[in-house]
Amino acid sequence: MTTQTFDIAIIGAGIAGASAAAELAKTHSVALLEREDFPGYHSTGRSAALFSEIYGNAAVRALSRASRDFFYAPPRGFAEHPLVRKRGALHIASAQQMRSLDDFAANADLASSIRRITREEALGACSILRPDYVAAAVIEDDAADVDVHALHQAYLRQFRNLGGTLMVDAQARGLSHRAGEWHIDTGAGIVRAPMIVNAAGAWADAVAKSAGTAPLFIQPCRRTAVLVELPPNVRGEGWPMVIDIDETFYMKPDAGLLLISPADETPTDPCDVQAEEIDVATAIDRIEHVTNLRIRRVRKRWAGLRSFAPDRSPVIGFDAVLPGFFWLAGQGGYGIQTAPAAARLAASLLRDGAVPDEIAGIYLSQLSPQRFGIGAAKRSGT
């Protein structure tokens, strides 16, 4: 059995692990371990690919805003094509949902990113919306489509160009800490490193348990996406993404088709999750209720896991108990749009704790794994 030694070993090569690996490889020798045959098989390859500065709680929004410049002006040579394309996100309300829309529009932290538009403007922006359904709307003009594949591949390319080592088919099975180093058994060999990063997505708690620390109750939740055909005479490419103000559905044009979702959030054990018939039917039913579409053909359906910590903020920082054990998990439904800032933050904390200016305004205590009393209580046996 071979043994290889690195400064840092990262477990999981989705967008979280890949982006952190690309940052850390500038200064450290890094191994990136992925259990599957190729990186991006799980949540990263299954997203709706939206960048929205108003989505998620305050901690998420801060990370998204700190990621914005990277998406619009990535470092020279990072990616061959633009990473984002503006689409806009239209949040609609029925007459019964006016209160939700008013509360949303009154949130001071969202004010500079959204504007109220008239009902007629909303109907004009997306021609299939039913006039008797839409009562009011708010638009985020700057919301954008992300080329997730290009972003992920660009991070992996940067990582390799900087001398990083990607290992696929390399599941971190046993983790033990001996003489100041972590030993990770991958089945095919041992990887040794003084620091490890837990970027295992839905499996973050499982990895923590196998390393000997308490889980943080990061809950994977299933979300379903369905690609349906539009009638031949309907062209949707210029529509914004349309989101129900209470997030019970959304829809978004996607390469001549329409991506729809019932915005489900079903707690699930970590697994290679599949779309359930009931969720596909619910998506179709909700979209047919708010539009004049009759959906005849489904081209593709899938589901992915969005994994949330109890307070729905990401978990970025060193474990309270285990030496050199770093969490980069709990990205929920925002792991793509927050990845650039989250990766820079993680890299700076792992290096020397000096946080770069553009993310200095983010409250680290809201992201630290040490914010959870639950884990601490379990560890101390109280």
Residues that bind ligand FAD (CB under 6 A): 11-17, 33-36, 41-44, 46-50, 171-172, 199-203, 207, 223, 225, 304, 306, 331-337
Q: Which residue has the tokens 């990621």?
A: 67
Contact 30, 13 (CB under 8 A): no
Planar angle of CA 272, 214, 307, nearest 5 degrees: 35
Shortest Cβ distance from residue 168 to ligand FAD (Å)?
Answer: 9
Q: Which is nearer to ligand FAD, 120 or 272 (CB)?
A: 272
Shortest Cβ distance from residue 381 to ligand FAD (Å)?
Answer: 27
Shortest Cβ distance from residue 38 to ligand FAD (Å)?
Answer: 9
Burial 33-71 (b: 16+ CB within 10 A, else e): bbbbeebbbbbbbbbbbbbbbbbbeebbbbbbbbbbebb
Q: Which is nearer to ligand FAD, 28 or 306 (CB)?
A: 306
Q: Which residue has the tokens 């700190």?
A: 66
Phi, psi torsion values for 318, nearest 5 degrees: -75, 145
Shortest Cβ distance from residue 47 to ligand FAD (Å)?
Answer: 4
Q: What is the 3-state secondary structure (H, E, C) of 225-259?
A: EEEEECCCCCCCCCCCEEEECCCCCEEEEECCEEE
Q: Which is nearer to ligand FAD, 136 or 309 (CB)?
A: 309
User: What CA–CA distances, in Å, run from 5 to 149, 186, 270, 302?
Assistant: 30, 13, 29, 38
Shortest Cβ distance from residue 292 to ligand FAD (Å)?
Answer: 25
Q: Which is nearer to ligand FAD, 63 or 137 (CB)?
A: 63
Q: Which is nearer to ligand FAD, 136 or 303 (CB)?
A: 303
What's the chain's Rg over C-alpha atoms?
21
Shortest Cβ distance from residue 118 to ligand FAD (Å)?
Answer: 27
**Tally of CB atoms within 10 A around 378:** 15
Shortest Cβ distance from residue 123 to ligand FAD (Å)?
Answer: 24
Q: Which is nearer to ligand FAD, 128 or 146 (CB)?
A: 146
User: What CA–CA distances, in Å, run from 333 to 264, 280, 290, 305, 314?
Assistant: 11, 19, 24, 9, 10
Q: Which is nearer to ligand FAD, 94 or 301 (CB)?
A: 301
